[in-house]
């Protein structure tokens, strides 16, 4: 493993540094349709493992349930370091970092989710590959790790198996939830438990896209009885189930002709027929910015919208903008004012952390003083809870 890391360093010197937006590999015929598949781009070094934490420091990746996925990096603390950390010891398959998820021998689950660079087209032949290493502190191993591709992001507030839920109205006032298991398009064979703690095992498979799939979720979508679980006497049995380090996630189209463009199109995201160009004074809503509940912590689901804004600022290097935070009408005026300002500042801080000059940014909180819809409905309140940017100069 040390030899691999030395070779990787040599190639880095030869090829030069690759930015977070570069996704052509050294083999120019291969294009990775996921951002940051090796988890090298991060907001800050990991400090601790939290049983109920939220994955917020890995660019582009997040957890779709309350199951707390973890991040490890060589710059991290003793709990989250590489190669030695609280949950085991392993060098990365690639680079300096990797993530970790519980796949359990019971119903507890953790998952990783990201958005693809572009929607898949019907007929695309897609191959998913990633590498896993079992923590030696696990009780045993599972087999059925895999990848689920969906057109919309999947999310639930549970800490158990991620289920597909549909709501059926039985009458005007009565509804029921119909839950079913997901069927990942790529899955490791159930008769091949992933038991290696010393090295990395490859999980890979291909499928033909139905069209419009734009999210991939990594994890175990099967019950303990269906997961090919095996106890391993050689392990320490300190952790309640199977815990895996995950690295080097790669999604590629086998029948597409490169270059494959991504969906981070600045103009199509912000401009409309009514507003066909950028000019001083124009205000735009950042559509997919997410925060922790009642907090100003920017969640990683916001990554793609923020990358669009960074792309816009790179396209117009003289542009200066104001980031404005807004709330709905619920709560005290002072609380809303403070929260809106903190959230605007958090977005500005994120842009600065990605190389945008502070001199190009202002931030301001408006609280509930500038609604764009009614506060009498949940839909209207959701529209009022927003972050905008206004062009100050070009």
In angstroms, rounded to a whole number, what is the distance separating the alpha carbons of residues 190 and 172? Answer: 43
Cα(82)–Cα(61) distance, integer angstroms: 19
In the predicted structure, residue 13 carries a pLDDT above the cut 60: no
Q: What is the pLDDT of residue 188?
A: 97
pLDDT of residue 163: 79
Q: Which of 247, 176, 253 is nearest to 213 (CA)?
A: 253
User: Residue 174: pLDDT above 50?
Assistant: yes
pLDDT (tens digit per residue) in 42-54: 988 999 888 777 8
Domain 266-393 of CATH type 3.30.1330.60: yes
Q: Is 238 helix (H, G, I), strand (E, B) or coil?
A: coil
Mean pLDDT to the nearest integer, 1-20: 36
Distance CA 229, CA 246 (A): 18
pLDDT at 237 over 50: yes
Q: Give 4 or 384, the one with higher predicted confidence.
A: 384
Its pTM stands at: 0.83
Measure the CA–CA gap between 298 and 352, rounded to whole angstroms.
14
Domain extent listing, the chain: 2-253, 266-393
CA separation, residue 125 to residues 161, 206, 209 (Å):
28, 7, 6
Please tell us whether the domain made up of 2-253 is placed in CATH 2.60.120.260: yes
Confidence check: pLDDT of 20 > 50: no
**Which residues fall within 8 angstroms of residue 118, CB to CB, at 6 or more apart?**
33, 214, 260, 261, 262, 263
Tell me the pairing of strands 125-134 and 230-231.
unpaired
Q: Which helix (H) or strand (E) holds 243?
A: strand 243-253
Q: What does residue 343 show for φ and ψ, rounded to 5 degrees?
A: -70, -40
Contact status, residue 179 vs residue 164, Cβ threshold 8 Å? yes
Rg (Cα) of the chain, in Å, rounded?
A: 22
Separation in Å, CA 254 to CA 126, 129, 206, 207, 318: 6, 13, 9, 10, 40
């Amino acid at each position: 493993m040390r030899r691999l890391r030395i070779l990787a360093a040599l190639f880095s010197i030869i090829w030069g540094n690759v930015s977070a937006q570069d996704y052509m590999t050294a083999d120019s015929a291969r294009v990775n349709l996921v951002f940051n598949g090796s988890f090298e781009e991060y907001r800050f070094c990991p400090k601790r493992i939290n049983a109920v934490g939220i994955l917020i420091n890995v660019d582009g990746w997040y957890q779709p349930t309350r199951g707390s996925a973890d991040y490890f990096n060589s710059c991290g603390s003793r709990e989250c370091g590489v190669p030695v950390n609280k949950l085991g010891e392993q060098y990365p398959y690639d680079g300096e970092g990797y993530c970790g998820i519980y796949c359990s021998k019971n119903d507890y689950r953790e998952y990783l989710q990201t958005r693809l660079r572009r929607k898949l087209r019907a007929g695309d032949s897609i191959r998913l590959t990633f590498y896993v290493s079992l923590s030696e502190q696990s009780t045993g191993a599972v087999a059925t790790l895999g990848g689920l591709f969906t057109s919309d992001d999947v999310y639930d507030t549970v800490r158990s198996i991620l289920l597909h839920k549909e709501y059926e109205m039985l009458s005007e006032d009565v509804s029921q939830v119909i839950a079913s298991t997901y069927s990942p398009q790529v899955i490791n064979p159930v008769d091949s438990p992933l038991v290696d703690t010393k090295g990395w095992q490859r999980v890979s498979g291909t499928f033909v896209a139905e069209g419009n799939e734009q999210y991939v979720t990594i994890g175990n979508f099967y019950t303990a009885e269906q997961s090919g679980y095996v106890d391993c006497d050689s392990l320490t049995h300190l952790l309640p189930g199977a815990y895996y380090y995950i690295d080097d996630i790669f999604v590629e189209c086998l029948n597409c002709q490169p270059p494959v463009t991504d969906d981070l199109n600045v103009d199509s995201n912000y401009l409309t027929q009514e507003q066909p160009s950028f000019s001083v004074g124009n205000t735009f809503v950042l559509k997919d910015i997410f925060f922790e509940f009642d907090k100003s912590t920017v969640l990683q689901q916001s990554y793609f919208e923020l990358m669009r804004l960074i792309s816009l600022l790179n396209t117009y290097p003289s542009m200066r903008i104001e980031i404005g935070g807004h709330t709905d009408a619920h709560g005290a005026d002072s609380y809303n004012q403070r929260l809106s300002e903190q959230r605007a500042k958090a977005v500005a801080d994120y842009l600065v952390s990605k190389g945008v000059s502070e001199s190009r940014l202002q931030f301001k909180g408006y609280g509930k003083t500038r609604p764009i819809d009614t506060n009498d409905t949940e839909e209207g309140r959701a529209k009022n809870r927003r972050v905008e940017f206004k062009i100050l100069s070009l």
